[in-house]
Structure 1
Amino acid sequence: MLQRTEETDAALVDRLQQAAFNYFPKHYNPDNGLVADTSIADVPCSIAAVGFALSSYTVAVERGWMERAEAVQRTTQTLCFFANGHQGRERHAIGYKGFFYHFLHMDTGHRAWNSELSTIDTTLLVAGVLTAAAYFDRNDGDETEIRRLAVLIYERIDWHWALNKGETVCMGWKPGSGFLRWRWQGYDEAILLYTLALASPTHPIPQSSYDVFVSSYSWMLFGEQHYLYAGPLFIHFFSHAWIDFRGIQDRPMAERNWDYFRNTQVCIAVQRDYAERNPGHFVGYNKNVWGLSASDGPPPTRHMRGGRHPRVLGYAARGAPLGPDDGTIAPWAALASLPYDRQASIDGVRTLLSTYPSLTYEGRFPGGFNPTVKTKRPEGWVDDRCVGIDQGLLVMTIENDRSDFIWGLMRKSPVIRTGLERAGFTGGWLEENEDVERKTA
């Protein structure tokens, strides 16, 4: 009898990456290129999920999961929808001032759920658009059209309008009530937003907006290392999916001889330390079972393991070490940590899959699970959906770990370079590329 050998780390990661990518062909409207927010039937499109999908198509071509011609067709169809869809204050509009509504109906593309015109979700969409423009660089008609549409979509965005006469960018706007009262300031996923907004050749924001954004950063101490705090892990992953922060520094990082990449490494260590200490005494937490991030959570229940009676939070941006925390873990977070701490990532993924063998759906991690909730399965409460942005993040992050692929594409993007330089970033690949350009001039 043949003895079954354990799957290698490389094979495991390959399998999980392809399963994550398969979300997009399954939850995609071939008539307009829109991608569903989650795997639940009849949910609307998330424009952020579309951005992750556009970036993931380029990975799929490189990995041999999709022919280049099919990726070109899907990308062109998607970009045509966003370039040609109606922009205005009307109910059936898909956006306004170049921005797009957070959620759109999968069939018509009209605004869904009374959602806001979202500056960050438009950013994530456009990051995918720019990835496609960087990858599809051939001089044939189809790929030239992708680049033309990408320029139209990006340059139409009125970032300056989104300041709403303030110093930092507003989070959103609604046609009935105007701008939301919240703004992007303090460390969060909006570094990518400010990069795109600063680089705009048509409606840029001033560098002073970025200076105000970083001025409200909050620093903490882990051991003897000061690090930039943000509790939920997704904050430390989203901008990094497109931007290679290794060795480049803006003013607050240069002042501390630090960078955002190393900061993310420390925040992973903070999460693991928190899970090992487990101050809330939740079931399952240890140094290899961790991952607090924004996710859905269990409904109210009194059926908890270990005599616990915590208040469950539903959807929340969970974080460590300051919380909130109700025992809900984002299982995709360990895999998304791969480029920053490979051993912690692999150990985390293997422990999750061996301890909770029924956790995945079609090989994909769900949005969250809570083993403290008492059910008939060791996983406890498990989100009944996979989330598009989680799956896209995994496709991109794994490929960055394997080959620097998305990072390499975006290092060549004049939008990313211009935005980073206007934000005050120096060093690393920004200066290395300049040296190459000078030598070849």
Structure 2
Amino acid sequence: MRTTAIYFLKLAVVFSFTLLAACNSGRQNNEKYSTGNVSEISDDSLLTLVQYRTFQYFWEGAEPNSGLARERLHMDDIYPQDDKHIVTTGGSGFGLMAILVGVERGFITREEAFQRFQKIVDFLEKADRFHGAWPHWLNGETGKVKPFSQYDDGGDLVETAFLVQGLLAVKQYFVDGNEEEQQLAQKIDQLWREVEWDWYTKGGEDILYWHWSPKHEWKMDFGVTGYNECMVMYILAASSPTHPIDPEVYHKGWAMNGDISGEYTTFGHTLPLKQHVDPRKGGPLFWAHYSWLGLDPRGLSDQYANYWDNNVAHTLINRQHCINNPNNYAGYGEDAWGLTSSYSVPGAAAFVRGQSDEKPESGNSQQTSYAGHRPSFDLGVIAPTAALSSMPYAPEKVLPAIRHYYEDLGDKIWGGYGFYDAFSEEYEWYPKRYLAIDQGPIPVMIENHRTGLLWELFMQEEDVLNGLKKLEFSSPHIRK
């Protein structure tokens, strides 16, 4: 593991950098930036800078043997359970897309990306799979499953869906390339075909189950129903050319026989889908991101909702809650918002729930917990990914937040891999730590706003289009 000092020197991390210049590969590091006053950076250059830094989590910061995304990177060099080589499959799917952004933005060459993708695909072919599905965590050195919890030591269909979403985008990027690139696309296609989505109906039930383990079988017993981050899993399961689910699994399982529908208007914005944890204000904001890195919500609808409208409303309600700030947390406002699952202040949840009379101490930035922050469970913790990854839905609201985080909070929350995972001005808590699943959506969704790159790639996959038609979706990508 590089020390923090060497790492910061290598990436030339200087907070006063303001312009990210075009570059074709890592050979021209000294020509990537020009210096100046931070307030002079243009909007376009700021977006590119954020994309570049965050992309580096998945490029420079990748686990070296597998090329996949580490579950976490702590710049304080404190790692629980010695997990420097533990990679996350879902976060790696996001990282695959981030690397494609890196090629298109000139951070690396197409050939450099191709070499990395070859390493990743070769690793995934040999890594542990369970009826075609990868586990949540893998050991990046051995390819063996790392249990996520006591009984979660087998296939994780949700994380697999996030990984496959990224793999299919890579496939489409290279499918018409040279002979070697076409071979890579074919290998990805084979991995896609080997996922046994129908196995995860537990013998033919009209619902998909999140986990299966050869040791514990269906003990986790987590049937996935909407609405949450898992929609792309059902879409891919219906789209599989080899192990598809029937439409009834989507309609009876995910959509709960239609009970997923329900209009809830808050702050003038209407959610067309019933969101379990808080129907009126929505769940953590990552629900509007993870399934939508490749699955294009623009004009996408079925009998239950228009998904663009749903994601926009989810974003704006989350923001307005932070502006209203019913708990009077320090630092919240029009340009400081975004509640989602992330690292959290230890003890904050118990204090807010009234389970503890002791308010968390300020300034203890090295300690973290994890929480599903949302309007109905607001602990005073903001995660930059929540706003930044919502860029397509409300760009005029997101860009001022990026500027505030970059210009006003600065190196309290900004490092070599972009903005740190979460912070709290209320508790003066600024841990210098990253999580793959929160970093990945940032460069991808910013790029989807700028060019639609990942949406266009993923929606070129004929299997996906066939699956959407099978489920009677409407989309501009679906040819009549």
Q: Give the Cα separation in 1 of the matches to 2:148 and 2:435.
A: 20
Aligned mates of 1:32, 1:76 — CA distance in 2: 10
Matched, 1:226 2:270: yes
TM-score, structure 1 length as denominator? 0.87
- 1:123-175 alpha-carbon deviations (Å, 9 max, x no partner): 11111111110001235331122111112111111111101132211111233
Counterparts of 2:251 and 2:288 in 1: how far apart (Å)? 19
Equivalent of residue 56 in structure 1, options 98, 115, 135: 98
User: Helix, strand or coil for the counterpart of 2:196?
Assistant: coil
The CA deviation at 1:46 is 0.3
Match status 1:66 vs 2:108: yes
| 1:32 aligned to which of 60, 66, 69 | 66
Distance change >3 Å, CA 216–CA 366, structure 1 → 2: farther
Paired residues for 1:37-436 under 5 Å: 37-40=71-74, 42-43=83-84, 44-85=86-127, 94-115=128-149, 116=152, 117-165=155-203, 166-179=205-218, 180-212=220-252, 213-214=254-255, 215-217=258-260, 219-227=263-271, 228=273, 229=275, 230-253=282-305, 259-300=306-347, 314-320=369-375, 323-357=376-410, 358-362=412-416, 364-373=418-427, 380-430=428-478, 433-434=479-480
Cα distance in 1 for partners of 2:415, 2:443 equals 16
**What is the rounded CA distance, in whole Å, between the counterparts of 2:319 and 2:334 in structure 1?**
5
- Alpha carbons 2:156, 2:212 under 8 Å: kept: yes
Distance 2:303 2:197 in 1: 23
Return the alpha-carbon distance in structure 1 between the equivalents of residues 62 and 405 of structure 2.
Answer: 29
TM-score (norm 2): 0.80
Q: Which residue of 1 aligns with 2:9?
A: none
Superposition misfits of 4+ residues, deviation over 6 angstroms:
none
Shift of 1:301: 6.8
Q: 1:348 offset after TM fit, Å? A: 1.3
Q: Percent identity?
A: 27
Which whole-Å deviations, capped at 9, do the CAs of 1:295-354 have from their partners, x for residues lacking one? 12112279x9xxx9668993121112xx21211111122211211111100111122234
Q: Give the secondary-structure state (helix, strand or coil) at the position aligned to 1:178.
A: coil
User: Which whole-Å deviations, capped at 9, do the CAs of 1:93-129 have from their partners, x for residues lacking one?
Assistant: x121000110111211211135532111001111111
Contact 2:197 2:243 (8 Å CA) reproduced: yes
Offset, 1:77: 1.5
Task: Report the residue type matching 2:109 in the other structure.
Answer: E
- Quick check: 1:335–1:394 contact (8 Å CA) kept in 2? yes
Give the aligned residue type for 2:290. F
Kept in 2: contact 1:61–1:71 (CA 8 A) = yes
SS in 1 for 2:265: strand
- Amino acid paired to 2:196: D
Letter in 2 for 1:283: A
| Alpha-carbon distance between aligned partners in 2 of 1:144 and 1:297, rounded to the nearest angstrom | 44
Q: Which moved more, 1:232-241 or 1:75-84?
A: 75-84
* In 1: Cα distance, 2:377 partner to 2:310 partner: 21
Specify the code of the residue in structure 2 equivalent to 1:272: R
Unaligned runs of 5+ in 1: 86-93, 254-258, 374-379, 435-441
Deviation track 1:379-421 (CA, whole Å, cap 9, x = no partner) reads x112331112222211111111111111111221112212221
RMSD after superposition: 2.5
Distance 1:301 1:56 in 2: 32
Q: What is the one-letter code of the residue matched to 1:372?
A: E
Amino acid at match of 2:294: W
Letter paired with 1:170? Y
Residues 209 and 22 from structure 1, CA distance in 2 versus in 1: closer, same or farther, beyond 3 angstroms?
same
Aligned length: 408
Shift of residue 187 of structure 1? 0.6
Q: Give unmatched runs, 5+ long, in structure 2.
A: 1-34, 276-281, 352-356, 362-367
